[in-house]
Amino acid sequence: MEWSACSDEYEKLVIRMTTPRVVIDNAVSSKATVVKVDSARKHRILLEAVQVLTDLNLSIKKAYISSDGRWFMDVFHVTDLNGNKLTDESVINYIEQSLGTIHPGKTTGSNGLTALELTGTDRIGLLSEVFAVLADLQCSVVDAKVWTHNGRIASLMYVKDCNSGSPIEDTQHIDRIEARLRNVLKGDNDIRSAKTMVSMAVTHTERRLHQVMFADRDYERKPILQPSGDSPVVTVQNWVERGYSVVNVQCKDRTKLLFDVVCTLTDMEYIVFHATINTAGDRAYLEFYIRHTDGTPISSEPERQRVIQCLQAAVERRASEGVRLELCTPDRQGLLADVTRTFRENGLNVTRAEISTAGDMALNVFYVTDAVGNPADPKLIESVRQKIGVSNLKVKELPPLIYHQEAEREDQTAGVAGTVLLSLGSLVKKNLYHLGLIRSYS
């Protein structure tokens, strides 16, 4: 009995030690809700925590990440997209529950749908051809995300049989879908790199898209357009004394930025030990102290350049180039094929798409440019709207990110490239100060 009791107490202690502790505080800051996560350090757990917040479309204004031995503490300053603190108790409870039960590396079910992964060379009208093939093969697209970057396209689509409403399980039907889509994706000159894959379970959709484009090596390809002034600036330096590689990212701020960067570092098998994330105006400054999973820093110039390229690509993939068009209309078989064919016939190129359904309604978002990637003529957009339905297809601006101009001066300048080696020690101390682990970092 004594041994059994000790064993039970030990198991309870292990559970308490390995279960993340989550504290959500609205009193600490007047500008944001502070979310603190304290847990045993495990590879990918930081990504899972960031994923929970970004899936709720929360804006991360600041973040302080630090690990000490086998433990880590993350502090996030978050608001909604309107810049308001979180007051909805159901949202707060959801965050507490989700962060308290995060499990690194888990996959998600397909919710009774068949997942299609597609990669290939992007071209005008390609998405229209893909949706036409799916409609012809009696596949109904329930949800999908489409990204394009550096002349490549990647998509993860969830489909079902439009007649039965069930996932597609017949192997011959699946083979036909893969073969037809592969022919469309490869076109006339992309025989080797066009890929299709059918799955019944996948990881987080947007994380999977990053993985697909990373495997496709989109970061190595030359961009079709010249880099703009908003192109991300990434620097990587080694802090030899402490055995860290220090990564700095400066770019225009946007939602899900931290997720995209952490996702890429994680999938490249780097561990983030400390980090500081700040926003000032419309700019974001991210600084990470990383090592390989074996505990070593970046060891060569080719590896350093690869990290820079991959992080630049991670930031750019979600860049919303073009006009945002929102389609809200009753769903029907062939709707996506018809809409995207209209785009193609009018010279509009889809650079990104988010397809979803709610009941009998189709709720779709498309980002479109002209054929060469320039902003589409407003008259052309209006003409397309007239053909699809003015009340159904609307031009929408992205929700503005609200910035707090009263941010501390030191936080506005943290992470600036070029001063890294002079300030690494103080920045680590500042991380620990913000985490409450030391009394002063002066």
Summarize pLDDT for 103-134 with one digit per residue, the tens: 665 555 557 789 999 999 999 999 999 999 99
Alpha-carbon span 174 to 439, nearest angstrom: 61
State the pLDDT at residue 181: 94
Contacts with 4 (C-beta within 8 Å, 6 or more apart), sequence order: none
The per-residue pLDDT of the chain, averaged, comes to 84
Q: Which residue has the higher pLDDT, 142 or 68?
A: 142
Instruction: Classify strands 349-358 and 244-252 as parallel, antiparallel or unpaired.
Output: unpaired
C-alpha distances (whole Å) from 167 to each of 93, 142, 339, 362 are 33, 11, 24, 19
How far apart CA 39 and CA 22 sit, in angstroms, is: 9
Q: What is the arithmetic mean of pLDDT over 422-430? A: 44
Q: What is the C-alpha to C-alpha distance for residues 435 and 92, in angstroms, rounded to an integer?
A: 21
- pLDDT at position 197 is 84
Q: Is the pLDDT of residue 195 over 70?
A: yes
Report d(CA 289, CA 273) in Å as an integer: 6
Report how far residue 343's alpha carbon sits from residue 322's, in angstroms, rounded to the nearest whole number: 13
pLDDT surpassing 60 at residue 344: yes
Q: Name the CA radius of gyration of the chain, rounded.
A: 23
Q: What is the pLDDT of residue 231?
A: 87
What are the structural domains, with CATH classification, of the chain? 2-106+226-318+404-434 (no CATH), 111-201+321-396 (3.30.70.260)
Task: Say how far apart CA 338 and CA 348 lie, in whole Å.
Answer: 14
Greater confidence (43 vs 90) lies with: 90
Q: Please write the tens of the pLDDT for every residue from 63-82.
A: 999 987 778 899 999 999 88
Q: What is the pLDDT of residue 107?
A: 52
Tell how far CA 194 is from the center of its chain: 23
Which whole-number Å values give the CA distances from 274 to 9, 212, 244, 369, in the listed order?
33, 27, 10, 39
Range with lowest mean pLDDT among 113-127, 282-296, 337-351, 418-432: 418-432
DSSP-derived pairing of the beta strands 270-280 and 323-330: unpaired
Query: Measuring CA to CA, how many Å separate 281 from each of 119, 400, 401, 415?
Result: 36, 12, 10, 15
In this predicted structure, which of 40-54, 363-377, 378-392 has the lowest mean pLDDT? 40-54
Structure confidence at residue 242 (pLDDT):
92
Q: How many CB atoms lie within 10 A of CB 161?
A: 17
Q: What pLDDT, in 10s, does the model give residues 202-237? A: 678 999 999 999 999 999 976 554 445 578 999 999
pLDDT at 264 over 50: yes
Distance, in Å, from the CA atom of 28 to the CA atom of 23, rounded to the nearest integer, reads 12
Q: Considering the entire predicted model, what is its pTM?
A: 0.84
3-state SS, residue 196: strand
Contact 206, 220 (CB under 8 A): no
Q: Over pLDDT 90: what percentage of the chain?
A: 65
Supply the pLDDT for residue 361.
96
Section 378-386 average pLDDT: 95
| pLDDT given for residue 404 in this prediction | 53
Mean pLDDT of 183-204: 74
Q: Using pLDDT thresholds of 50, 70 and 90, give the confidence band for residue 91.
A: very high
Based on DSSP, count helices (H) and strands (E) in the chain, helices before strands.
Answer: 12, 18
Residue 437's pLDDT band (cuts 50, 70, 90): very low
Cα–Cα distance for residue pair 238/251, rounded to 1 Å:
21
